[in-house]
């Protein structure tokens, strides 16, 4: 019998290898050769799956985004209002090494997206989705009397989204700075502001 190759599985292996290599070596050190080696592929065997490094990077970003969303779905399951808001944001914040590694992929992705309309569109779609979800949780929190501020739900989502984007940069670039030591505490402090 011929060997059966699961192409989706192989793509996923490549994407996984890509983000490990980018996290370790940076986008410039992540050559197609390094990625092939990490994934256990022969050099050149990547091309049918991902003709260019940019396509691999876009897939790696999409993969990180999907995986984050799966974690969010798990941790927010059955929660609403401020509890859901806290769980959502805690899952996006780079609070452990895996998520700091993800931040190290997201920053090169942003840099590429500056001059790549498809990547920029993927970024925008992702952010729109998160903004809507956060604003929804904020509305539920307000309905439950957990949010007292007259500052609106969309404005709360603006704040949280920008803070979570900024936190990726702090965590990836200056992990030892005092203002990055307690990102979970920053989130708590912000939620306290909303309750007042």
Return d(Cα 171, Cα 110) in angstroms, integer: 15
Return d(Cα 81, Cα 83) in angstroms, integer: 5
CB 62 within 8 A of CB 121: no
CB of 10 to its own copies, least distance (A): 28
Is 30 or 41 the residue whose CB approaches its own copies more closely? 30
CB of 120 to its own copies, least distance (A): 5
Is 13 or 68 the residue whose CB approaches its own copies more closely? 68
Residues near its own copies (CB under 8 A) are 25-29, 104, 107-108, 110-111, 113-115, 120, 123-124, 127-128, 131, 149-152, 154-155, 157-159, 161-167, 169-170, 172-174, 176-179, 185-186, 189-190, 192-194, 196
Is 64 or 194 the residue whose CB approaches its own copies more closely? 194
Return d(Cα 125, Cα 48) in angstroms, integer: 27
Is 12 or 122 the residue whose CB approaches its own copies more closely? 122
CB of 67 to its own copies, least distance (A): 20
Query: How far is C-alpha 108 from the geometric centre of its chain's CA atoms?
Result: 12
Is 27 or 39 the residue whose CB approaches its own copies more closely? 27
Return d(Cα 38, Cα 18) in angstroms, integer: 8
Alpha-carbon separation of residue 16 from 25, 31, 53, 91, 184 (angstroms) = 14, 14, 14, 20, 27
CB of 1 to its own copies, least distance (A): 46
- Residue 170's nearest CA partner among 161, 156, 183, 184 is 183
CB of 128 to its own copies, least distance (A): 7
Residue with tokens 């779609």: 125
């Amino acid at each position: 019998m011929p060997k059966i190759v699961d192409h989706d599985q192989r793509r996923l292996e490549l994407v996984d290898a890509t983000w490990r290599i980018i996290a370790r070596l940076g986008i410039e050190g992540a050559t197609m050769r390094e990625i092939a080696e990490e994934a256990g592929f022969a050099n050149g065997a990547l091309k049918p799956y991902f003709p260019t490094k940019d396509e691999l990077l876009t897939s790696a970003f999409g993969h990180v985004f999907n995986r984050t969303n799966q974690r969010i779905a798990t941790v927010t399951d059955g929660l609403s209002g401020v509890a859901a808001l806290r769980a959502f944001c805690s899952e996006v914040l780079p609070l452990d090494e895996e998520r700091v590694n993800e931040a190290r992929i997201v920053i090169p992705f942003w840099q590429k997206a500056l001059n790549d309309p498809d990547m920029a569109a993927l970024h925008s779609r992702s952010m729109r989705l998160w903004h809507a979800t956060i604003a929804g949780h904020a509305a539920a929190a307000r309905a439950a009397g957990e949010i007292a501020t007259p500052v609106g739900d969309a404005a709360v989502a603006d704040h949280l989204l920008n803070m979570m984007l900024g936190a990726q940069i702090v965590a990836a670039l200056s992990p030892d700075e005092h203002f990055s030591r307690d990102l979970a505490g920053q989130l708590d402090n912000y939620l306290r502001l909303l309750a007042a």
